[in-house]
């Protein structure tokens, strides 16, 4: 899809979008090395709330980030939420950084209360906990 078609998709109105302003904004993002994070939800973030042919909807609001930010938060999503109190939609940015991703592991660690009844439970947990970070499986090795 060409740039003109993309710009036209970001505005719903009887009047054409102001291509010079949109192009200036695109150039500013490029100069600042920012990328648009995209979105989930309604595609227009602003409306003038006027009736019939005077009604305008446009994607004005967006979340952008530089490379450093996207490397720190590789899993992220931007959602547009309806707002009854504003002419702009609410924007919710949800992130998860590498530390959170790595901490999740394969399915996470589950603790069963009945393990407390085992005679060797405390010693096994203590050993696994103190060995964590030394190349061993840590508490995940207790699953077997």
For residues 73 and 77, give the distance between their C-alpha atoms in angstroms, rounded to a whole number: 10
For residues 70 and 87, give the distance between their C-alpha atoms in angstroms, rounded to a whole number: 29
Say yes or no: 47 and 118 in one domain: no
Domain that holds residue 125: 108-138
Greater pLDDT, 86 or 106: 86
Location of structure tokens 């490029």: 30
pLDDT surpasses 80 at 7: no
Name the domain count of the chain.
2
pLDDT surpasses 90 at 28: yes
**What pLDDT score does 34 carry?**
96
Say yes or no: 51 and 81 in one domain: yes
- For the segment 102-121, what is each residue's pLDDT rounded down to a tens digit? 655 555 556 677 777 888 88
**83's torsion region: left (phi>0), alpha (psi -120 to 50) or beta?**
beta
Assigned domain for 132 exists: yes
Greater pLDDT, 19 or 74: 74
CB of 72 closer than 8 Å to CB of 33? no
Assigned domain for 67 exists: yes
Please give the average per-residue pLDDT across 37-62, as a whole number: 84
Say yes or no: 95 and 118 in one domain: no
**What pLDDT score does 31 carry?**
97
**What pLDDT score does 102 carry?**
63
**What pLDDT score does 133 carry?**
46
pLDDT surpasses 90 at 64: yes
For residues 44 and 34, give the distance between their C-alpha atoms in angstroms, rounded to a whole number: 20
**What pLDDT score does 69 carry?**
92
Assigned domain for 144 exists: no
For residues 63 and 77, give the distance between their C-alpha atoms in angstroms, rounded to a whole number: 10
């Amino acid at each position: 899809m060409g740039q003109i078609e993309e710009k036209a998709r970001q505005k719903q109105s009887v009047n054409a979008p102001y291509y010079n302003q949109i192009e200036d904004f695109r150039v500013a993002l490029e100069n600042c090395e920012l990328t648009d994070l995209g979105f989930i939800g309604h595609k227009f973030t602003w409306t003038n709330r006027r009736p019939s042919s005077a009604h305008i909807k446009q994607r004005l609001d967006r979340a952008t980030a530089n490379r450093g930010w996207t490397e720190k938060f590789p899993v992220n999503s931007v959602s547009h939420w309806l707002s009854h109190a504003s002419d702009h939609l609410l924007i919710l940015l949800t992130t998860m950084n590498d530390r959170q991703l790595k901490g999740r592991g394969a399915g996470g660690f589950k603790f069963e209360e009945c393990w407390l009844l085992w005679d060797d439970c405390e010693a096994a947990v203590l050993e696994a906990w103190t060995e964590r970070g030394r190349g061993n499986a840590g508490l995940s090795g207790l699953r077997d």
